[in-house]
Structure 1
Amino acid sequence: MNTKFFLLLFIPVIITAGYSQNKINEQKATLVTKAGYMIEIPSISEQIASGEFKEATNIKKEYNPKRRDANLSVPGKGLPIGSDPLWQKQTKATKIKGKEPILTFEAASAYATPTDPTGAVGPNHFLNAWNSSFRIWDKEGNPLVSPASLGTIFPGETDGDPIVMYDPFADRFIVTQFTFLNGFLVAVSQGPDPVNSGWYTYYFPTNSFPDYPKFSLWSDGYYITSNKNSGSAGFSEVVYAIERDKMLIGDPDAQMIGFPLPNISTNGFYSPLGFNVNGPELPPPGNAPIVYMQDDSWFGVSQDHLKIWSINVDWDTPANSTISNPQIINTQPFDGLFDGGSFSNLPQPTGQDIDALQATIMYMAQYRRFSDHNAVVFNFVVDLDGSDDLAGIRWYELRQENDGDNWNIYQEGTYAQPEGHSAFSGNMCMDGQGNIGLAYTIVSNTKYPSLRYTGRYASDPLNIMTLAEESIAEGTSQDPASRYGDYSQMTIDPVDDLTFWSIGEYFTGGPRKNHVGVFKIAAELQNDVGIVSIDSPQDGSLTNAEEITITIRNFGINEQSDIPVYYKINDGLEVNEVFTGTIQSNTNQQFTFTTTGDFSEPGMEYHISAGTSMLADQNIENDTVSIIVTHLYSDDIGVTEISSPESGIYMSDEEAVSITVTNFGVAAQTDFPVSYFLNGGEAVTETVSGTVEPGSTLYYTFAQTADLSVIGDHELTVSTDLAGDLNTNNDYTTAIITNSLCQPELLCVQGVGLYEFHLGNIQNISGCDPGGYGDYTDLSTSLQQGSANDLTIATEYGDVFVTVWIDFNDNFYYEPDEIVVDNYIIAPGETGGNYAETISMLIPSIAPIGQHLMRAKSNYNAEVPADPCEETIFGETEDYTVEIILGTGAGDQQIENNDLILLNGGSNQFTMIYNPVATTETLILTVHNINGQTILRNRVPYNNGNYRFEFDMSYAQPGVYLLRLGSGNFGKIKRFYVK
């Protein structure tokens, strides 16, 4: 390869972090350096002609395991409690018929885990990249070159996490990746044609590894954020600006300036973003924004909010460059924490749960300038219902009236997939008319990962995605790993500034696939009108003469006048009138019918449909809209959710009772009584002193706790008792709360129990345990990976079925794939007697090394239920501990014999201490609740001779939890109690 190589002798200038001498609200840069080198790379076409072109290699491996420093989430902390507060607004929104994709095509097929799909559209090309390759296409979806290794433009470098951008203001493509040499690699095309133009390839060094780099375009530089140094992100450089003007001309002296993010909070893994400029106009230099979300489930964050920092670079005197302290924008509550911060979250039909991509502003944060404001749109994943299994997308449009002003929320919504699947991995953009496109991945236990999109017109009602969902690609197989994404991307076609190009990851068997979807929201037909909303009446106290107001949209290109419109209530007669005004292209007009409607019956639901009937309309699919309007009672409140207590084990006699009260009426309510009844007992009645406005909710916790200490089911009914409430249907909510030990009560009389249990060092002659349950977790034995072990069980009756589970994943829950003895029958057909049978119990060769709980369960004359907690009439359950080991060497025994110590310092503040003998690697700590849900996950480094971790369980529900500390080589477990 004929390259020009500029090796630069540079000395990075590390600047001590401190506040500016001039402005107390600013902090100086902490790093000033230059490019480590710049290489001129021949064009792809030249390399193909010379035989130097490097084709992509399809290696089957995991790229760049996700890195997390100390996880600072607090189990149980933060709002919302239960459902996302914006979820129902999206669910109830009127949907406008969307548009099918203009083009879709498969852009990559690779075994890389994950693929990291990225791509950008230019005037004549689409360039996409993945781990660790790229490809160039025309805009019809035809490939112009074979898949190329990233080493084609980065000689010897294929480490991954690529990003592709198109710079419309310079007409250049940019391809980037990180390097394990600690730094960023950036290739800038020397012209507009990525096939026939050469490349300026730069290396910019960093002082530590810059994981998960994300690039954006601003007028005075290319900006980079990274998941770097999360423990010191507030005072060491974690965001960077590189000198765009010099890079566009191949100047080897291009500089890089690094900044901290003052006052940032993270939960270990984090990904802020710089604003990326779209449209025909660059902003003035300076005030480059960086945005990140702050979740109140994290330590040190008291309210959900956004932080926005502004960077001002001075390329002439780089030491004068500054970053502001953040602007804080409070938001509606959101729950961005999944499974305690772990990377295995959302269920799919088969296989393991996949990564929801939490704590990440999804790529890109898209900025655009309009005549009277500046706007930016971005999104991140949220938990919709508190289960950690159902995800939605919290999205924002922020606006700024003038350059340099503070940013404000213009609209804020939570998008929920309409069929009940999770929606996550969002990528969004705004076109030149202000319409918004949002593409995303859907998944659930009935739907394989698939790619969909929605959107909204600029003039639509705020805070909702109004367009009906459309499909880009339908998945037909599972993600074979928990890693997904790690990102997706949407860009806007610079030719029309209206066409969205999205790329994301999905699965059809074999290699992972990256698929492109191209769609447009803006007008394409000459004549196309329709109703986008019925604006009034709305739910409320209604009369027999309510005005019907609709919004008519001109979806087409031609202006329209004298549009026939109609409405109908329930099965009544159609009312026809004419809108006599004029509606310009891509605009809306309201119209109020002269004929009113009767909505006078309290509590009644009314179905209203409205539409247009223009003869020249070229698209009738968007003509009509329907809504349901309810005549609300004046005074109507009710309990919509019992937030706590939840079913658990070892529940106490002082369980807090927390509820959500909703005002369904039209009058504000305050000082109203609420009551709860436990197991049909006397009412506990208290007065809610707060005010709940119409349509709003209020969280309330009773001062009087509930006694749920008795094992079994408890019926808890909660009600409101508002005087004058005429609708009692929503006053009461009942929940069955189960206090369980997961210790099934069985009858092991007449010999159907596990009278003897012999496995390795476990030699237990127990007879019939009281209540049919025996806790023998203090008894343990070692079992080798891949070994066949003799398990001897004795009973005193025949036809006894036995199942044994080992909790290999240490989530405090026995699952079907953890069965090691599956309904073995002892003495089939026999009755009373003494029967001892030896079963060969096979331990999988990939069984996780370390301590695990083991459960053995018997059932007479029928199979043991799949649910290990389910009670049957005759049988017995016994719990033990086993240690899975590699072999019998001394090193394994040293690990096995060490103890994990867990101290309760009071107020449910815990300290874990582990003194190792044979390991010093960083270990993973997880905490699980009785339902097997991960509520905390953290990396714990070896320090000063031991492993030590402090964690706060004061916000968690009382009950029993399981802690595991370990790695892929071993693990230790400990059960503990939260009071």
Structure 2
Amino acid sequence: MILAVALLPGTAAATSAAAATPAHAAAAAAAPAKKHQSSDSGPAVYHDLSPTLAAMAAASGPAHGDRVAPDEDTPLPHPTRAAADPVVQTAPGTKAAVPLANNWDAIGPNTGYSDTGVPPDPNAAVGTTQVMELVNTAYAVYSKTGSTIIGATNTSSFWSGFGGFCQSANDGDATVAFDRLANRWVVQQFANVTSSSGPYYECVAVSTSADATGTYNRYSYQFTNFPDYPKLAVWPQAYFTTYNMFTPAGAFVDAEICAMNRSAMLTGAAASQQCFTTSSTYGGILAGDVDGTAAPPAGEDETVVGLGATATTLATWKFHVDWTTPANSAFTGPAALTVASYTTACGTSGTCIPQSGTTQQLDSLSDRIMYRLAYRNFGDHEALVTDDAVTAGSGVGVRWYELRMTSGSTPTVYQQGTYAPDSTYRWMGSIAMDKAGSIALGYSQSSSSVHPSIRFTGRAAGDTLGSMTQAETTIITGAGSQTSYSRWGDYTSMSVDPTDDCTFFYTDEYEPATGNFNWQTRIASFQLPNCTATADYSISASPASGSVTSGTSATTTVSTAATGGDTESVTFSASGLPSGATAAFSPTSVTAGGSSTLTIATAASTPAGTYPITVTGTGTAHTHTTTYSLTVTPPATNDFSISVSPATGSVTQGSAATVSVSTAVASGTAQTVTFSATGVPAGATATFSPASATAGSGSTLTIATSAGTAIGNFTVNVVGTYPGGSPTHSASYTLAVTAPSTGGIVNGGFETGDLSGWTTAGSASVVNSGAHSGTYAARIGATTPTNGDSSAAQTFTAPSGSGTLSFWYNVFCPDTVTYDWATATLKDNTANTTSTVLAKTCVNPSSGWKQITAPVTAGHSYTLTLTSHDDNYSGDPTYTLYDDATLSAAASNPIVNGGFETGSLSGWTATGAASAAVNSGAHSGTYAARLGSTSPTNGDSSIAQTFTAAGGGTLSFWYNVTCPDTVTYDWATATLKDNTANTTATVLAQTCAASS
């Protein structure tokens, strides 16, 4: 991690990647215990699917460089001193130095990157065809031979378009892993770490393929405390990340480990995390990170390791994660694992590494084990390797461990050693194993006569335990030393090529010239002698399952992949077929790496069921199998579905409504559907064109009314019937028949297909989809950005008997009401008054059609203006659909004294504390009813009235609750009882608001 120098050491924002509590606490209890689950557990704050990384990198441009970390970091809790180291290797290995396959300068000034801070935090991972390197705030993608695919780019560009701090805060401490079990890349970086109060964020990106430049499923997780020094690990049940946790004020809290739902993240689904903490005794823990093609045994818990409570122990934990029942998840430990005694490097300060040509010493970061805790399953045992920096004589060496376990048992020490073959200081190591069990150890090297350089050593699986038998190989000798700042590396990484499981890739830093901000990273690849690529292949089927009806066929692609050595010819066969089925491959054989199409044909007599079919590949030297699951179902009965659009419509007496009738095949084969209609009102006729159609096509229903057709709402059932009268399905269409207008609004439903009768401004048109009823609606505004108001207006005279104006609107507003909106006004030209009948509104996404009503006075002239406003901002056009502007007679109010303007509660039955003499704060008029009192009362206060409602009416009332308590104790509520149907509805749920 790198942070701004303007912050003071000791503050949360200034805490370094190594920062932690200043003192070592007491040893943990001997008996392992379930640790506390952290409040950081929970769902991701947000997740999405990114554009391609290549596109985001191109838009981001070159990286901006790093910021400077505080020079002094407070050590994590760790033992500092013990007896002399009994496992020091004081001479180099006698085997020949290993040659380098590839060796190139990665991110740094030699490749155009401007260093502006320390340390660089170099780490890398290797995939099937690419290498990705990350430094503190930048990443780059290379081929395996060092060709640049994406140059140094800000790491935050992984979250371009994601929003929030993941996108805007390029805060560093990023790491990358390659999930060999799924062939996916995983990248993490924390965000908002300079905040003095939080919250803090962990940003995670999981690729959707093995191509590092492709798209990523992106997530962010929120933390209350500062999650420093995050380190990724891949495990089948989860992606694990370990942290050192600090309060916002900078005090060390504990180590924390979080399990993120790997299976969900691989598919881009919502993914939660489960987090647990250690005691404050421990920091710098790491989780096992899977290498190789062999996954851990099914269901095995994750192993976690850190420095122990004494200088003769490591501490181990087990993390059991249960995504189905999170309460069953557990983090148990620590168990003390006895190791050879050691003294951590550089005493309590951690800084003592000398350099040539300067008095500036470098930080050893000896208070933790170093990234990664590499895991490998060898079948007969499982192995974990890790390392840390320890005192070796008068200098510093790398203590390394190989731990072993079986089926997830507690790890034991198989071998250990301290590599310090001469007086040169070695530290900042990273270690891994290849498929043969050979170990490679990379590190930084420096002394008073040697500039910081990069080297590695190694050993074969059968060599003398505890020793690195390969002579040192120099990746690059530094040409300068770092001045002014002690911070170096923070971590490096050794990884293994997943394609051959033999080639190691190591990245570290060196100085091409003496200076304070001019570190250069380097990537090198090599193989240890005992690892060779054995000829073999794998086989798989995609899809791995399929379903057919008896008498039809299923196909799947059978793929092979060469996993090492020379390719061999593979011939395919299938067994386990159900009765009457046959299998055919095209081609019947391929060279490993090729694929074939398997076709399984069933007979009409093939019985229903699910059959595991074994697909066998027989090669020159190897035979492998995969399973394809075939489900056979009996032939489906012929069936269909029917629907209508629109589902409602309105016509005046003497006119016609049209409805689109659609059908679809639900099962079996398409048959002829014959249409009919029931529930058509008297005096109206229903015709279909065509009268019948093949399922999957449709018809148009026309309902023609006459002058004598009854007025009202009618439910018309549109019926479809297959030959023979079965099956039969129907869909409902609601038809409203109204009397012809004798005046008032012209073309209020826009069913002329144009805006005749209306005066328009801006962008206004008629659309034939999404109407409230009928075929057409007016669209005010456009689907592309417009500037200012668009409107449609009409001046009309309210005819005799009319008392209510109504219209429907549907607003599409991806912005906010500050900038874009729908609104409508009604001007009474006779009285010269204007009212806003639709206040400015903006909804995203659309909440559907809403009705607006307003009173009108018969004989008055009115102007109705329907408006949509857009601020012409690119990407968020706003428009509004309007429909069915009509005038209707005003209904009389059956409720007596509903406005309480008698100044009393006449017409109402009151209980408790109820008063109508409140002549201030009324919604309208002079008076309002007050239920309850301004002084405390006990129990319910209420008023009630029984009335008979007119048909088609709507009940409305206004309330204003003043409730300084909570809804547990005090509330307002209202019920409406239908005495005819003997049902009661709660129309106002219990509510309490401290501020009315």
TM-score normalised per structure 1? 0.47
Larger Rg: 2
